[in-house]
Structure 1
Amino acid sequence: MPDSNTDSLSILSDLIAQAKKAGADAADAVLVEGDSLSHGQRLGKLEKIERAEGKDLGLRVFVGQRSATVSSTDFKKDALREAVERAIAMAKLAPEDKYAGIADSSQLAKSWPEIDMLDPAEPTPEQLAERAGAMEEAALAVAGVSNSEGAEASWGRATVSLVTSAGFAGRYARSSQGVSVSVIAARDGEMETDYDYTSAVYAADLEDPALVGRRAGERTVRKLGPRKAKTAQVPILFEPRMARSLIGHLLGAITGPSVARGTSFLKDRLGQRIFAPGIAIIDDPHRTRGMRSKPFDGEGLANGRTEIIQDGVLTTWLLDLASARQLGLTSTGHAGRGTGGPPSPTSSNTHLAAGTMTPQQLMADIEQGFYVTEMMGHGANMVTGDYSRGAAGYWIEKGEIAYPVSEITIAGNLKDMFLDLTPADDLVFKGSTDAPTVRIDGMTVAGS
């Protein structure tokens, strides 16, 4: 495995030189090197301990407006030569795509920031076992918890190198680690299950596993004895880990390919208000210790903080070079890249900015409402915005959590939901997409 910046970039540079010599008009190549370690246990007994190391290379070549991508995990000279030959042959048979192509030299990033996103310390298997054990033990200690579905602690490190025939060569590395547990509570012949987790780039930023474990146990026990809810139109609160899915639907609707194909319910809304005044949604690939931080995008373009929603107004699409050309626009530096195919636009670290009220204050005036802690299914139509998902959580009465409810459906339309959304002040950065608790009025709860 390449063990230095020079090694990985040299491999890619040599590969591109071979592709150009073999007849490619342009080419780019990406090398992903990864290491991971995970520990899994159940009821204190080891179920797995796994370590993986690997590297994967992807080469994209262009012959005129025709292109092809090949990938390889074999870095022998003969294997790479065959990969180049195969890519050129495939490209000559591919259909022409007038929007495809690498960035020219004037578009490429000439410098990029150093981002704190790599914990240099690799945990030992014993440290992972200690984290998982502390989390599971704390969850099982909660009164009412009867069993465990298991606890897992993991660590990973990925290094990404990118070289293009237009003169770009860059590399970055980042780490991630997390601990999670899922437990079961039982009462009167009924069982409920729930989970909790903590994740971060640095081990020092993980929450105390025992605290998270206790929270998982308490969440599970609170779900016992659920009731049915009657069909009604009521205010709905989404807890943070449910609210972030709403931001995911927004991101899916504003990617360049969806807009260019006309398959997005927001395809005509650029520059228009789609959230209430004051709402901000930010994508920031340069966030310190961000779970998906990166110093440049997957095509070698500069990237940076983008306020996707500014004062409730949609300010931009998420574009790579191909979708930008198709829309007659400029790339926004949101290209993501794997080794098995061409780039495509993607977000990085995205969050809904916190509001000014606590979740309790958001709930205070609700006579009858629903607090969502779990959702099932994928009932969002990205063409129309229609939204319908199975859900469970807690019924709200007179501004307070009253009792657990399950087996209901929540429905609305994302266009209306976005406009009616109010964020609370409890934003915590835990993943690549984050949101505080949010309240949405006027949705339908379909129950008994």
Structure 2
Amino acid sequence: MTADTDALSLIQDLVDRAKKAGADAADAVAGLSTSVSHAQRLGKTEKLERDESQDLGLRVLIGKKQAIVSSNDWKADGLDLLVERAVAMAKAVPDDVYCGIADPDQIVGPDYPTLEMYDPEEPSAETLIARAKETEDAALSVEGITNSEGAEASWSHFRIALAASNGFAGTYEGSRHSVGVSVLAGTGTEMESDHDYATKIFGADLPSCAEIGRNAADRALKKLGARKPPTAHGVPVVFDPRVSGGMVRHLTGAINGSSVARGTSFLKDRMGEQIMAAGITIVDDPHMDRGLASKPFDAEGLPNQRRNLVDQGVLQTWVLDLRTARQLGLTSTGHASRGTGGPPGPSTTNTHLAAGTVSPEDLIADIERGFYVTSVMGMGVSMITGDYSRGASGFWIEKGQIAYPVNEVTIAGNLKDMFLAMTAADDLEFKHATNAPTLRVDGMTVAGT
């Protein structure tokens, strides 16, 4: 039997035992993972680790009460105790009128899609060491790079199994290959650091390690001589693809069913309205081959599908699991996500803001003065009001050209206005689970000197 089959059989048996112990309904999720990582600095090994883990979570429901317990002990006596504790807890907790597993007619059938999300080739330790070495060596070979904060290469593999008393049973697995480096440029008080990294499902899809190293070096060198720009109001701010995905995450956070149901989202009453510029479309696609957040079904066994969250600026849907859908009197969108230690909650998968029709160069060509952002920091974003204020660094724009590097800057606005003043470039690349091209947002405040 495969590990997938073993895990699925185990949790199916666990669900059956919970039912026999008095649960009205139950579901269980199991996760198995293996990871290997190598880190080095200036050519010297700092770690070479392998980790293997297994965990499972059991949820039992008695009436409108539910309890969740988790364990990494998969022995028979440990599982007996897990069931006993879960049932006892469910009898003691308060009612939750919105909890519950899916009805049998809601779950996906056994023909759920098979996605391209697993590379069967595990790299050797020697391969990881070579990847990290090539990446760091390439960065250090660039003139002006004076030190390294280290390079790392890693690989991981995971298996997920989900079963419920409504008849659902399913498994999937995935892999990750990653490599990255961080270096410093300059000397003394005139030093700057930056990094580059890549993560792919298949090792063959990784960009060249030398390219990653040179990119990190180039980014660090370009930051030398940074200074504060003048304070400016109502100016364009351009977000590099390294940070533009944050705009998508702010949107998905605001349309998450949990926030909407609690009334803590600045978009809670905007369904079907124009919330972004007319050219902006945001897509969520759980079935993307080689997508870093792909999955063939959601964490409650419901079918999931590609859908536009925002279409030409108009809000199309909330991001819902079963519980938040019940709270809002709607139907789940198949966005349930879950760990082993808690109940399901809504979350997006592979999400991207669709590419526009202008190049990044054309996007800034008419900017008399503005700010090109390559890094943001701080947590100054309110999902209740939409107020946005974050520290940032990057480059000052003058007369349509990059003028000089800047740091210690604060950018501010309100997401409701920012979304409507947004223009997308044509340079979309799929590097992360959430992706966006270069984005221009007009009318922001930049606080410098």
Tell whether 2:338 aligns with 1:327: no
Distance 2:31 2:215 in 1: 36
TM-score (norm 2): 0.98
Paired residues for 1:38-437 under 5 Å: 38-110=37-109, 111-187=111-187, 189-233=189-233, 234-437=235-438
Whether the 8 Å contact between 2:273 and 2:314 is mirrored in structure 1 is yes
- 1:183-203, Cα deviation, whole Å (9 max, x unpaired): 011146311111011111001
Whether the 8 Å contact between 2:55 and 2:72 is mirrored in structure 1 is yes
User: Could you say which residue in structure 2 is the equivalent of 1:445?
Assistant: 446
Secondary structure of the corresponding residue to residue 96 of structure 2 = coil
Distance 1:188 1:53 in 2: 42
Secondary structure of the corresponding residue to residue 153 of structure 1 = strand
Displacement after TM superposition at 1:241 (Å): 1.3
Secondary structure of the corresponding residue to residue 190 of structure 1 = coil
User: Could you say which residue in structure 1 is the equivalent of 2:17?
Assistant: 18
Distance 1:362 1:398 in 2: 12
Displacement after TM superposition at 1:393 (Å): 0.4
Whether the 8 Å contact between 1:41 and 1:151 is mirrored in structure 2 is yes
Secondary structure of the corresponding residue to residue 355 of structure 1 = coil
- Amino acid paired to 2:376: M
**Between the two proteins, what is the percent identity of the paired residues?**
60
Distance 2:215 2:102 in 1: 48
Whether the 8 Å contact between 2:162 and 2:170 is mirrored in structure 1 is yes
User: Could you say which residue in structure 1 is the equivalent of 2:26?
Assistant: 27
- Amino acid paired to 1:88: V
Whether the 8 Å contact between 1:190 and 1:225 is mirrored in structure 2 is yes
User: Could you say which residue in structure 2 is the equivalent of 1:6?
Assistant: 5
Which blocks of at least 5 consecutive residues in structure 1 are unaligned?
A: none
Displacement after TM superposition at 1:149 (Å): 0.3
Whether the 8 Å contact between 2:146 and 2:187 is mirrored in structure 1 is no
Displacement after TM superposition at 1:34 (Å): 0.3
Displacement after TM superposition at 1:278 (Å): 2.4
Distance 2:169 2:430 in 1: 31
Secondary structure of the corresponding residue to residue 441 of structure 1 = strand
- 1:119-178, Cα deviation, whole Å (9 max, x unpaired): 010001111111111111111111111000000111111100000000000000011111
Distance 1:143 1:437 in 2: 28
| Superposition RMSD in Å | 0.9
Whether the 8 Å contact between 2:424 and 2:437 is mirrored in structure 1 is yes
Distance 1:294 1:21 in 2: 31
Secondary structure of the corresponding residue to residue 158 of structure 1 = strand
Q: 1:263 to 1:358 in 2, by over 3 A?
A: same
Distance 1:357 1:390 in 2: 27
TM-score (norm 1): 0.99
Which blocks of at least 5 consecutive residues in structure 2 are unaligned?
A: none
Distance 1:158 1:254 in 2: 29
Distance 2:182 2:279 in 1: 37
Whether the 8 Å contact between 1:25 and 1:64 is mirrored in structure 2 is yes
Distance 1:406 1:66 in 2: 52
Distance 2:306 2:246 in 1: 21
Secondary structure of the corresponding residue to residue 326 of structure 1 = helix
* Range 117-126 or range 5-14, more displaced: 5-14
Secondary structure of the corresponding residue to residue 295 of structure 1 = coil
Displacement after TM superposition at 1:373 (Å): 0.6
